[in-house]
Amino acid sequence: MSVNLRSAPFTPGARVIGLGSSQPQRVVTNDELAEHIETNDEWIRERVGIISRRIADPDTPLVEFAADAGSKAIADAGLSPSDVDTIIVATCTMPNPIPNAAAQVGHRIGLTAPGAFDMNAACAGFCYALGMASDLVRAGSSEHVLVIGAEKLSHWVDWQDRSTCIIFADGAGAMVVGPATTAEETGIGPLVWGSAGDLYPTIRILDEPGESGKIYQEGQTVFRWATTQIDPIALRAVERAGLALEDIDVFVPHQANLRIVDAVAKRLHREGAREDMRVARDIVHSGNTSSASIPLAIDHMRAAGQISRGDVMLLVGFGAGLSYAGQVVICP
């Protein structure tokens, strides 16, 4: 028998309508790290640009601060939890793979039987998830999607490895994505994404027999990749949104290392970005929080009055996989 299946009605566009973030209370300074390992404040600042970071207590689960960030984003959007039908948690640091974070986080927030799944694209995860959310809304699969980037990297860090323990931190950032009733109201540009799987060993958990079970990074290789391969991806995201680099008000790269942030921003300036383009430097007091770093930076910049409604933001995430993704987003 031949039938005609109905498709969900398309929505003209999607946009970000709410922001939120959450960090553990505990501030860990460089001096505190220097009490346990051979390092010092000056070396850390020069090497990665971090002054302090937030680290969760061992007993505090990732889903706790993920839910806090998500609740704030829903309130910021002027919605109630029952309005949100889908939740995506971008994370790569759950202590084990079953169950996922998203269903628990949705439950903690009080969502009503949402579609709930985790997305692991490491530090590119938030941009991947935001792209999924936008497409789900546009395709009519979801009406309001809560997108959360949440990481508890402290669980996976070797606190004796001074090349990684000075960088990584904990936190969560969230956005609510909803429909745009006209194409002109669209607030999320096309996703530009990809991966370089040949470089997979450069950031990984050391899980071979006899290894520590902790995170490892080939700093130089990753640095070279990020400082030479990310600006073309950012540029493509701008072009696919139908804009030029000079239209960008705010550049929010994944907060991997301040040296990477500055190097990529410098290249974008050389390629036509405005001198007054603001650049997220949230890593200085938040550390590298992987998938949480982009929404954390945006929420902090808004709270500090550095960005405002309508600003054109260029987001680009990159990290383990290696994976990368970027898009242009209008600040809600």
Partner 1 sequence: MTEEEILESLADIVEEIAGVDANEVTSEKSFVDDLDIDSLSMVEIAVQAEDKFGVKIPDDQLAGLKTVGDAVGYISSNISDR
Residue 319's SS3 state is strand
Residue 229 is a binding residue for partner 1 (CB under 8 A): no
Candidate ranges 4-12, 87-95, 141-149, 214-222; the one touching partner 1 (CB under 8 A): 214-222
Q: Which of 30, 120, 257, 288 is catalytic?
A: 288
Residue 108 in 3-state DSSP?
Answer: helix
Count of residues that interact with partner 1, criterion CB under 8 A = 12
Spatial separation of the C-alpha atoms in residues 118 and 99, rounded to whole Å: 10
40 catalytic residue (yes or no): no
The only residue of 81, 115, 190, 219 in contact with partner 1, by rule CB under 8 A: 219
- When binding is defined by CB under 8 A, the residue of 227, 255, 288, 290 that contacts partner 1 is 227
Our finding on whether 38 is near partner 1 (CB under 8 A) is no
- Complex with partner 1: residue 92 or 264, whichever CB lies closer: 264
Q: Which stretch binds partner 1 (CB under 8 A): 16-24, 150-158, 217-225, 238-246?
A: 217-225
Residue 197: CB minimum distance to partner 1, A? 19
Does residue 30 carry a catalytic annotation? no
Residues 215, 90: Cα–Cα separation, whole Å: 18
Q: Indicate whether 259 belongs to the interface with partner 1 (CB under 8 A).
A: yes
Residue by residue, DSSP assigns 111-133 as -SS-EEEEE--GGGHHHHHHHHH
The smaller minimum CB distance to partner 1, of residues 154 and 202, is found at 202
Residues labelled catalytic: 123, 254, 288
